[in-house]
Structure 1
Amino acid sequence: MSEAKSIAIIDDDASVLDATENLVRSYGFKVRKFASAESYLASIGDVRIDCLITDVQMDGISGIELSQIMRETGVKTPIIFITAFPDERIRNRVMAAGAIGFLGKPFDSKSLIDCIERALLN
């Protein structure tokens, strides 16, 4: 049996972080959760992450800034963005930069899992 894929979730809203973790874990994925982009960046290299789910708007480094930092440093982990404020301009920007998905909160469970499955095919 192959090892379960590892998904990182970053959100500064603890309830969203916990609910997303429970959903993703229920599909058999390993989950690492982070309350900030800074704590995620500090962990890069500690464990392989196959897909990243990040909130767009967070205190400190935003999800968009995080994706730019990752691209600039050569980290190619597929990214799915989630947001309470879905804005078409931001959607277009992150999708043009290679995001796998852009989901408004609250998002449909199947939509998130579909995005994860697409990310893992890349």
Structure 2
Amino acid sequence: MNLTHEVAPASPLVSIVDDDPSVRSSARRLLRSSGLQAEAFASGDDFLRSEFIERTDCLLLDVYMPGMNGLELQQRLTEMGRRIPIVFLSAKASEEEERQALQGGAAAFLHKPARQEALLQAIRAAISNASL
């Protein structure tokens, strides 16, 4: 009698870093309803101090936040050798900031308010491309 069990792989974890509580809440609901795991953080520092930094498959990141902004968090992760795919989501970013994010390795840069389908597509593409 064979008692081996196949363990289903865990769904990818997306960490949301945004200072706006309504964005964190709605993004978390959307991601979870789409079969992804989601954790939310109010700041880059909160994310860096969390246990989830090691398990995050994709980072949904705002540009403008008090303290460390999204571009600074992106740079910090690079300096730490953490290669987490990043999808930026920002309401006010300039073309220069968008260019800087993409040159820094961001998988996508979306503008708020982004369509849910576009956001999910960007996140899934970032996760898929990272696993290649």
The equivalent of 1:31 in structure 2 is: 38
Cα distance per residue 1:19-73 (max 9 Å; x no partner): 1111111110111110111100001566511000011000000000000000001
Name segments (4+ residues, structure 1) moved above 6 Å: none
The equivalent of 1:9 in structure 2 is: 16
Q: Match for 1:79 among 72, 86, 90?
A: 86
The equivalent of 1:90 in structure 2 is: 97
1:3 & 1:79 partners in 2: Cα distance? Answer: 20
1:60 & 1:46 partners in 2: Cα distance? Answer: 18
Structure 2 unaligned segments of length 5 or more: list them: 1-7
2:54 & 2:46 partners in 1: Cα distance? Answer: 13
- SS of the residue 1:85 aligns to: coil
2:46 corresponds to 1:64: no
- SS of the residue 2:10 aligns to: coil
Cα distance per residue 1:79-104 (max 9 Å; x no partner): 11111113211111111111011111
Identity across matched positions, percent? 35
Does the 8 Å CA contact 2:63/2:93 hold for their aligned counterparts?
no
1:92 & 1:85 partners in 2: Cα distance? Answer: 14
The equivalent of 1:108 in structure 2 is: 115
Does the 8 Å CA contact 1:80/1:115 hold for their aligned counterparts?
yes
Using the size of structure 2 for normalisation, the TM-score is: 0.87
Using the size of structure 1 for normalisation, the TM-score is: 0.94
The equivalent of 2:49 in structure 1 is: 42
Structure 1 unaligned segments of length 5 or more: list them: none
Q: Considering only CA atoms, is the larger Rg found in Structure 1 or Structure 2?
A: 2
2:73 & 2:115 partners in 1: Cα distance? Answer: 24
2:51 & 2:58 partners in 1: Cα distance? Answer: 13
